[in-house]
Amino acid sequence: MSVLTKTSVEVISGNEACARGAMAAGLRFYAGYPITPSSEIAEELAVMLPRCGGVFIQMEDEIAAMGAVIGASLAGSKAMTATSGPGFSLKQENLGFACMTEVPCVVVNVQRGGPSTGLPTMPAQGDVMQARWGTHGDHPIIALAPNSVAETFDLTVRAFNLSELLRVPVILLLDEIIGHVEEKVRLPETVEIISRKGPDVPPAEYRPYRHTEDMVPPMASYGRQGYRFHVTGLAHDETGFPTNKPAEIDRLNRRLNGKLDRHRDAIVEVVRHDCDDADLIVFAYGSVSRAAHQAVREARAKGIRAGLFRPRTLWPFPGTEVRQLGRQAKAVIVPEMNLGQMAHEVEWALAGACPVVPLGRVDGQPVCPGEILELIEKTACG
């Protein structure tokens, strides 16, 4: 299914593009609480949603916002919330509930410096591991990381589509630079829209957590057309009611996590620049990948065979694709605005095939092309 979107050239911010992408994807419910540097997303949607019959609610806090999003999604609406680091921490318990109950929803985190209140107006990428492991237990999660205003629009749409396709929360990890930078964009004429798979049996026969061949149970809109079912964060059987049977618990947990493995090829996306003949690979994401791309171009101009590997999907981690780099690269450089959260994952994936050289920055300032180029030159000289 497709929907028309605005086609004229505009200058907008990443946060504005996120709001536009959400509307294009079919967003009809937003609940949130203002927090820098994500507040513009809520401000835009407060105007957009009422115009199309949608609902915007400013909640009393981030905990309530996440709960409201889950409830709206269960009732059949595409739902989203947006926040930054401290608010993302508050959402974790309800985010875990959404994982266990397989409720599609999108959570946008425009990252800022931390820990705690940290640096409200300065960029960081310190929530990467929290996106994966912020809530307790083994749980499924998808996290996407755009590096431009245009890509923020695209990945917001993609976040909704993956969420609906797989009945799983999806996290969109911007950083303050991407959220606030303004760029000239031409939004696409049409976007692909995926909606959740509806029930294929009458209400009396419906099992909300049925073990299907594709590992994604059909999802009824709660209370509509007679469909009513039990929803609990406790371990449950196919009916949704709690169970203490080890076999049922094991089957549930393995399906929850296994469905991302099953559909991995539809989830994981990476972008490569000049990697075919590269001796040195720079692994970078979000706004840092823009600096890395410039550094790679400058390195090439100096005769250094450098390349850029940019994951658009951070979770599930593109380990298979990273392992392929170890067959050709003499080293992989990982610049990021944290102290090595992705560098550790890259090192794990390469399994000693080549050295990993981290470049971390945590002073609230962006990683610059010159810093990366200097490290490329130093590593090349070995």
* 165 shares a domain with 48: yes
- Within 8 A by CB and 6+ apart from 133, the residues are none
Given a contact cutoff of 8 angstroms between Cβ atoms, the answer to whether 179 and 153 are in contact is no
Q: How many CB atoms lie within 10 A of CB 39?
A: 18
- Give Cα separations from 20 to 5, 26, 41, 228 (angstroms): 9, 10, 9, 33
245 belongs to a structural domain? no
Establish if 140 belongs to a structural domain: yes
Q: Could you tell me if 181 and 278 lie in one domain? A: no
Domain check: are 296 and 161 in the same one? no
Q: Do 171 and 275 belong together in one domain?
A: no
Question: Before 123, cis peptide (omega within 30)?
Answer: no
Instruction: For residue 198, give Cα distances in angstroms to 83, 106, 136, 194.
Output: 30, 19, 29, 12
Same domain, 37 and 179: yes
Same domain, 31 and 178: yes
CATH of the domain at 185: 3.40.50.970
Domain total in the chain:
2
Backbone angles phi, psi at 150, to 5 degrees: -60, -40
The pair of structure tokens assigned to 315 is 């979770």
* Nearest CA-CA partner of 41 in 162, 163, 195, 153: 153
Give yes or no: residues 179 and 323 share one domain. no
Question: Is the model's pTM score more than 0.75?
Answer: yes
Residue 296 to residue 315: CA distance in whole angstroms? 25
- How far is 85 from 91, CA to CA, in rounded Å? 10
CATH code where residue 282 lies = 3.40.50.920
Of the candidates 280, 292, 346, which has an alpha carbon nearest to the alpha carbon of residue 318? 346
Do 163 and 24 share a domain, yes or no?
yes
Last residue of a domain, one of 149, 164, 192: 192
Inside any domain, residue 100: yes
Q: Is residue 337 part of a domain?
A: yes
**Final residue before a domain boundary, out of 148, 170, 192:** 192
**pLDDT string in tens for the chain (382-residue length):** 444 444 678 999 999 999 999 999 999 999 999 999 999 999 999 999 999 999 999 999 999 999 999 999 999 999 999 999 999 999 999 999 999 999 999 999 999 999 999 999 999 999 999 999 999 999 999 999 999 999 999 999 999 999 999 999 999 999 999 999 999 999 998 899 999 999 999 999 999 999 999 999 999 999 999 999 999 999 999 999 999 999 999 999 999 999 999 999 999 999 999 999 999 999 999 999 999 999 999 999 999 999 999 999 999 999 999 999 999 999 999 999 999 999 999 999 999 999 999 999 999 999 999 999 999 999 999 7
Q: Which residue has the tokens 């945590």?
A: 362
Evaluate whether 31 touches 59 at the Cβ level (below 8 Å): yes
Range of the domain at 77: 2-192
Backbone angles phi, psi at 297, to 5 degrees: -60, -40
Q: What is the DSSP letter of 236?
A: B
Domain limit, last residue, from 159, 192, 225: 192
**Inside any domain, residue 264:** no
Evaluate whether 368 touches 375 at the Cβ level (below 8 Å).
no
DSSP 239: T
